[in-house]
Amino acid sequence: MTVFTVPKSLGSKRVNRFPFRVADGGKVFSVPFVQYLSGAGADYLEEAAEKGHDEIRLTRRLVEIESPDASEAVAKMSRDQVKALGEAWAEASTASVGESLASDNS
């Protein structure tokens, strides 16, 4: 019997990630599009929706999970900056947060 090797997540591919900078000309970080979140990211997203976490908290925690090297920089951002990041990330993703949760639950 052949052993199946699980392929890498599509979220690890550059084309399936949302790149962003915290400052003009600064380091480029990236997070997977919503539809390619890791298991931990998807679990947190579901938990956050159930508990009613606000968009700022949700974005900061997802960045911490999906791109730990960016978490310190995002933690230092103001609320309006984090909101702008979250909105741009969601818009760039082909599945919205609600769609992602609905498809996971079906």
* pLDDT value at residue 95: 57
Q: Which of 30, 83, 88, 32 is nearest to 54 (CA)?
A: 83
State the pLDDT at residue 106. Answer: 41
The model's pTM is 0.81
What pLDDT shows up at residue 82?
97
The mean pLDDT values, 10 residues at a time, for the chain of 106 residues are: 92 93 91 95 95 95 97 95 96 65 42
Q: What is the pLDDT of residue 70?
A: 96
| Phi and psi, residue 101, nearest 5° | -65, -40
Supply the pLDDT for residue 104: 43
